Amino acid sequence: MTERTLAIIKPDAVERHLAGKIIQRIEDEGFQIRAMRRIHLSAAQAEGFYAVHRARPFFTSLTQFMSSGPAIVLVLEAADAIKKWRTLMGATDPAKADAGTMRKEFAQSIERNATHGSDAPETAAYEIGYFFAGIDLI
Ligand code: CMP
């Protein structure tokens, strides 16, 4: 089933000029890019985006990192896009990520892990709506 997911190229990857390589890989793997924006989240916007993690010990550090510089948000479309993008990203912790995944190749740590992807259809709907209006998705 054709599905959409939200991807983020996180500030650590944008800062190191890895966006082009990551976007190339996204296209090579057969995703359609339905929308894309460069953003710089405020702390409050990062806290809203990651609200589900607010009780976690890493929440403050994570939201500070995510608001520390520009990031790129994308809506990706493909068959089974949510799982397909999470597989391409690899494990959250780059030390555990498989060879050839985005996080194995580009992440610096479990927090500065280069990319984000929605984890379920409901999350994808919320996360896409967080950055894009319906009119942006073409
Ligand atoms: P992401 O896929 O964006 O979802 C939540 C983020 O929290 C995750 O990637 C990491 O950047 C971060 N994260 C998850 N677990 C930890 C952890 N144990 N320590 C620090 N950051 C974490």
Probe target for ligand 1 pocket from 61, 65, 113, with the most ligand atoms within 8 Å of CB:
113
Q: How far apart are CA 34 and CA 32, in angstroms?
A: 6
Q: How far apart are CA 81 and CA 118, in angstroms?
A: 10
Q: What is the pLDDT of residues 43-74, one digit of tens each?
A: 999 999 999 999 999 999 999 999 999 999 99
Is residue 103 within 6 Å of ligand 1 at its C-beta? no
pTM, to two decimals: 0.97
C-alpha count within 13 angstroms, C-beta hemisphere, residue 104: 11
**Is residue 43 within 8 Å of 4, Cβ to Cβ?**
no
Q: How far apart are CA 80 and CA 124, in angstroms?
A: 12
Of 88, 77, 92, 87, the closest CA to residue 124 belongs to 77
Q: What is the pLDDT of residues 8-49, one digit of tens each?
A: 999 999 999 999 999 999 999 999 999 999 999 999 999 999
Ligand 1 centroid distance, CA of 138 (Å): 30
Is residue 130 within 6 Å of ligand 1 at its C-beta? no
Is residue 56 within 6 Å of ligand 1 at its C-beta? no
